[in-house]
């Protein structure tokens, strides 16, 4: 998956640094006494506390081993990152979690991984295709304010709203009239390996404009509560002036490199 979340976790347990896998954050473990610990993890690549707890399950198991664990109270915040340039690649959503854990001799109970087997995959695809078109059409119409509403809350917090809207509208104006568009690939990911749990759908697109030979990229949508929200956008483009300095073979090679249809 383009932009698939991959990372390593380092656990600070007392004064010892212990390597673990697959989170992309740093978890700090503070003993509270009586077989209880406080686990603090910053910038987890998820949008909900349930998903954060699932990601941290290996940490909970490690601090209580060989005993089992029980999750107690927790606190969380979203990490807002502002001032990002409008054309920068959006980063995954981030969440900070402080989770108290109690070790117990009771049978282990895993933090459940979400299941999406009861969902209609074709309906999900249709929903995301329609949302992708609305997003791209809003950008084309110099109505980036409407496009912004598709972002998930955690991702919207990483963007300076007014600057992003102004820059997207300016880019749309310079591109000119839309001549052709294709949503040529839709890919579904359920609880992807080496990534946060959840349901994600990626949509690859290719567009051609009056003054822009092509713009192509992908949109990644995540099921947040009961609706799909945009969590990542990446696009690449070739403008007229640059294209005029390139041979046809170079343009074809560039399109292939950018995965444009």
Using a 10 angstrom Cβ sphere, with 0-12 exposed, 13-18 middle and 19 or more buried, the burial of residue 231 is: buried
Residue 246's pLDDT is 83
Please give the pLDDT value at position 13: 31
- What's the pLDDT at 204? 93
> Where in the sequence of the chain do the CATH 3.10.450.590 domains occur?
121-257
Residue 8 has a pLDDT of 26
- Which of 38-42, 133-137, 223-227, 253-257 ranks highest by mean pLDDT? 133-137
Whole-number percent of the chain with pLDDT over 70:
80
What's the number of CA atoms in the CB half-sphere (13 Å) around residue 104?
A: 10
For the entire predicted model, the pTM comes to 0.60
Mean pLDDT across the stretch 123-149?
A: 96
- Looking at the chain, the whole-number percentage of residues with pLDDT higher than 90 is 38
Residue 141 has pLDDT above 90, yes or no: yes
Q: Is the confidence at residue 50, as pLDDT, over 80?
A: no
Q: Which one is predicted more confidently, 28 or 6? A: 28
Fold of 121-257: Nuclear Transport Factor 2; Chain: A, (3.10.450)
126: Cβ contacts below 8 Å, ≥ 6 apart: none
């Amino acid at each position: 998956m383009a932009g698939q979340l991959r990372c390593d976790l380092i656990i600070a347990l007392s004064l010892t640094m212990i390597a673990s896998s697959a989170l992309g954050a740093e978890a700090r473990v503070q003993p509270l006494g009586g077989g209880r610990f406080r686990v603090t993890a910053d910038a987890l690549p998820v949008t909900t506390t349930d998903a954060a707890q699932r990601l941290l399950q290996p940490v909970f198991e490690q601090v209580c081993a060989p005993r089992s664990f029980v999750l107690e109270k927790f606190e969380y915040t979203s990490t807002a990152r502002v001032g990002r340039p409008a054309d920068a690649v959006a980063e995954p959503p981030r969440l900070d979690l402080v989770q108290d854990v109690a070790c117990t001799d009771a049978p282990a109970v895993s933090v459940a991984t979400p299941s999406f087997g009861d969902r209609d995959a074709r309906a999900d695809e249709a929903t995301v295709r329609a949302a992708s078109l609305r997003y791209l059409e809003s950008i084309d119409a110099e109505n980036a304010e409407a496009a912004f509403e598709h972002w998930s809350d955690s991702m919207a917090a990483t963007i300076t709203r007014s600057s992003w809207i102004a820059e997207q509208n300016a880019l749309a104006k310079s591109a000119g009239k839309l001549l052709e568009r294709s949503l040529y690939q839709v890919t579904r990911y359920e609880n992807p390996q080496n990534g946060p749990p959840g349901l994600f759908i990626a949509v690859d697109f290719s567009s051609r404009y009056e003054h822009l030979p092509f713009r192509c990229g992908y949109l990644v949508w995540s099921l947040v509560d009961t609706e799909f929200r945009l969590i990542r956008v990446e696009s690449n483009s070739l403008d007229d002036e640059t294209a005029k300095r390139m041979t046809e073979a170079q343009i074809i090679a560039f399109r292939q490199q950018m995965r444009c249809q």
